[in-house]
Amino acid sequence: MKYVIANFKSNKNLSEIRNWRQSFEVQEYSNVTTIVAPPLPYLSLFKDESRRFLLAAQDVSPFPMGSYTGAVNAAQLKDFGVTHALVGHSERRRYFHESHQEIANKIQQLLDNEIIPILCIDEEYIAAQSKLLSDTQKNSMLVAYEPLSAIGTGVRPDLGTVQRIIAQIKKHFGEDTITLYGGSVTEQDCREFLIVADGLLVGGASLDAAHFSRIVAAAANS
């Protein structure tokens, strides 16, 4: 099974989201799990899409329900049919100063609500992040290798590097951990990454529904 995830980040308004949904043409592939992570306010627009793709949140509160102004908790995400959630994306770490511990707390909140975490990680903090997670937590998540230098830049690491870091992730998280690659993936190079990774986390190239459909199709045929 290959995983292909669209991360819209903080892009698109209501009409653009509606257009994307209408123009995203993908047949059901038995060998690909497609997951879409829209901005939170638009989650409900995707609630009935489970035949075509699963729904992910881009983030979650590190706290349960309660007095945490501005936070959206895992139980609330669950109500919208969310099955997966990104955690520890480098943009969260960089612009929102999230710590490894906060990310570990988010993972536990997700697991308490039966949502599968997709932990984003770069080489330099694999060990530090992994140290804060139990084996049970590690066995219940997907991990995405996302080199900072490749996110939104068009600069891609060579396959050998991706292979080496994925091996390092599996050493820390478990040999059977589903490990994705993310960072400037396009339809032109996605097949290469799928040789060494179990799937793709796609940012910029997911914003165009037709482009993203072709990446999913490429994964199905890889």
CB nearest ligand PGA: which residue? Answer: 203
Residue 205 CB, shortest distance to ligand PGA, in Å, is 6
CB-nearer residue toward ligand PGA: 132 or 148? 148
What is the SS3 assignment for 16-63?
HHHHHHHHCCCCCCCCEEEEEECCHHHHHHHCCCCCCCEEEECCCCCC
Could you list the residues that contact ligand PGA (CB under 6 A)? Answer: 7, 146, 151-152, 182-185, 201-205
Contact 102, 72 (CB under 8 A): no
Residue 79 CB, shortest distance to ligand PGA, in Å, is 25
3-state secondary structure of 152: coil
Please report which helix (H) or strand (E) contains residue 97, including its range: none
The DSSP result for 184-198, as a single string, is S--TTTHHHHHHHSS
Token pair 């179990």 in the structure block, residue: 198
Concerning whether 91 is annotated as a catalytic residue, the answer is no
Residue 119 CB, shortest distance to ligand PGA, in Å, is 12
CB-nearer residue toward ligand PGA: 134 or 149? 149
In this structure, which amino acid lies at residue 177? T
Concerning whether 146 is annotated as a catalytic residue, the answer is yes
CB-nearer residue toward ligand PGA: 87 or 205? 205
CB-nearer residue toward ligand PGA: 61 or 206? 206
CA angle 119, 121, 126 (to 5 degrees): 110
Q: Which of 89, 91, 98, 187 is catalytic?
A: 89
Residue 30 CB, shortest distance to ligand PGA, in Å, is 25
| Cβ atoms < 10 Å from Cβ of 145 | 27
Catalytic site residues? Answer: 89, 146
